[in-house]
Structures are given as C-alpha cells and as structure tokens.
Amino acid sequence: MPIATPEVYNEMLDRAKAGKFAYPAINVTSSQTLNAALRGFAEAESDGIVQISTGGAEFLGGQYSKDMVTGAVALAEYAHIIAEKYPVNIALHTDHCPKDKLDGYVRPLLAISEERVKAGRNPLFQSHMWDGSAETLADNLAIAQELLERTRAANIILEVEITPTGGEEDGVSHEINDSLYTTVEDAIRTAEALGLGEKGRYLLAASFGNVHGVYKPGNVVLRPELLKELNEGVAAKFGKASPFDFVFHGGSGSSEQEILTAIENGVVKMNIDTDTQYAFTRPVAGHMFQNYDGVLKVDGEVGNKKAYDPRTWGKLAEASMAARVVQATQNLRSAGNKIK
C-alpha cells in the first residue's frame, strides 16, 4: 500500500480512538531504519507512523551540509516509493520542532506540501509537530494557530505540545518536576485557541509526567489518568465528548498498565525512539565484538570482507529493530488492526 492519503490517515486515527488502540510512531534516521520500521508494521499487520525529528533530518541531510529540509524531503520521497511494497498504511510525520527551528524545518516543509496540494497531489508529510513547550502557553498557542491554518489548508494534521516533556531530545530539554503535568485550564485554553476540529485537526501532546530518554520501570512518575481529567474538563465546558486525540511522548520504561491506561483515556499515537535505537544498535555491537578480528585489520591482516560488509550487520540491525516495532504494536493493540 502507498503512504497514507490524508483521508486514510484521518481514518487511521478515528479507528484507533474508537477501538481503544494507538499507533507506534517510530523515529527513523536512514533508509535502513525506515525499512526496519516498515517491516515491523507489516509483520504485525499494523498500520503505523514513521517520523523524523530535526536531528534525524539533519543527519539524513548528510554531514557535509546538515540540511534538515533536504534530509526530510529525501527520506519522505524514498518512503513514498518503498512503502508501496509493504501491505500496510504508513503516515509520515515530523517530530519535535521548537520555535528556533520552525523557519528551517516545518515551515519550508509546509510550503512544499502546499505546492503539491495546489498541483492536485497529496502533501509530502501527513502531519507535523510544533513543540512550543519551551514558550509561554499564550505564545505557544499563537504560533499553533498560524500553523493550524496552514496545515488545514494543505490537508495535514498538526501536533502540538502545550506543556513540557522532561529530559532531553534533539537539544530541547526540560527539568523533571511538577511542570510536567498539564492542567485542565491548559487544556481549556488550547481548545479556545485551536478549536475542537472545526479549525483543523490536531493531535495533543499533553504532559502527564512524561520524560524522554532511558529509564527503568518505576523511575518516572506517570499519571495517565490525568488525560481523562483533561478530556472531561474540556467536554464539560464545550459539550463535546472525548474531544482530544492525545499523543504519548517519553514512553520508554513505561509499564504495560500505564500504556493501556493512556490508551483507554484517548492516546492514539505513542512515540518510540530510544527503545528502537537500542534494538537497532545492539546486534551491531554484538557482531563487532564477536567478529573483531574480521572487521578489523588486526596485526597487519586484511580482515574478513564478509564480516565488515555493512549488509552483513545491517540485516541483523533491521531484523532486531523490526521485532521491537512488532512488540510496540502488540503493546499498543494496533497489531492485526490494519485497514483492510
């Protein structure tokens, strides 16, 4: 199947919300990690989301120019071709973009999609994220309004983060403290500024103790039940039941019950990066340790070409990451739920 059209992406999100499951959103940084993600979704018979962060896009742009837009466009165009060979629907998304990178990342990508739509084509990406969590909520929502108007016109969904996620990702960092919990008042102000669908569809990354990075279960205090409070508080004021489509950020180390509670309370997308990075790298490290005398020219020898051929260890990395994606679809209940 091809990359999801705007109509299919909306159907995916609607099905997830109605069916109480969520899609893994897998960060990719290369054609190889993209194929691993696609393979995992296909093996799990799950539709899914592939996303590129600003740092990932810079890496994809090559270390000579480090151009984020070039990197993101190149991988998106590749994905549009390669995804045809996988029997699942995949949406393309750009991950965390703070204010100082909007003009070098999201806005140029939006312009590309706007031109595609004017020409009668589908947008290049199906959704973009604006991370205004480092700004005041008033400034955050003002920029979100501008972006939402553009994404709506281009048949793209916007993702907004209204309060901080702890830890650090691609240079955006927040302390781990009580500010990591969105309030009902925050949610109401968001609904007042962005509407509840009539101004354009958006996904809401609300904070319930989320932290980016590597943590053992129990080391991060998550309160996924808070999402129910946010939905109910906004529903009471605006009269729309279950108004938000939530995104779960910083889920590494979360317990199965915390994940299921988040899904029951409206999460339709869960970002997964740290765990798949490790899954990709672990077999590569194992191969290098086990075949050090083949991958290195030890004592003047020539090594073993089959051992250091990137295809040899690359296949191991792809298989391992794909297996972790399958696990994610099972945890989030999207496995076996692809659109027929």
Dist. CA 174–CA 288, nearest whole Å: 35
Give me 244's structure tokens.
């938000």
- Phi/psi for 97 (5° steps) reads -130, 110
Is the CB of residue 218 less than 8 Å from the CB of residue 180?
no
Pair 242, 228: CB distance under 8 Å = no
Burial of 228 (0-12, 13-18, 19+ CB in 10 A): middle
51 forms beta bridges with 27, 93
For the purposes of burial, counting CB atoms within 10 Å of the CB of 30, is it exposed (0-12), middle (13-18) or buried (19 or more)? middle
Contacts (Cβ under 8 Å, ≥6 apart) of 150: 110, 114
Give dist(CA 260, CA 240) in Å, integer.
Answer: 23
Length of the chain: 340
Which of helix, strand or coil describes residue 44?
A: helix
CA angle, corner 290, sides to 288 and 293, nearest 5? Answer: 75
- Active-site entry in 95, 170, 245, 275: 95
Q: Where are the alpha helices (DSSP H) in the chain?
A: 6-19, 31-44, 54-60, 68-82, 106-118, 137-153, 184-194, 226-238, 256-264, 274-290, 292-295, 305-308, 310-332
Give dist(CA 52, CA 54) in Å, integer.
7
Distance CA 87, CA 42 (A): 6
d(CA 295, CA 277): 22
CA–CA gap between residue 223 and residue 255 (Å, rounded): 12
Whether residue 178 lies in the annotated active site: no
State the catalytic residues. 95
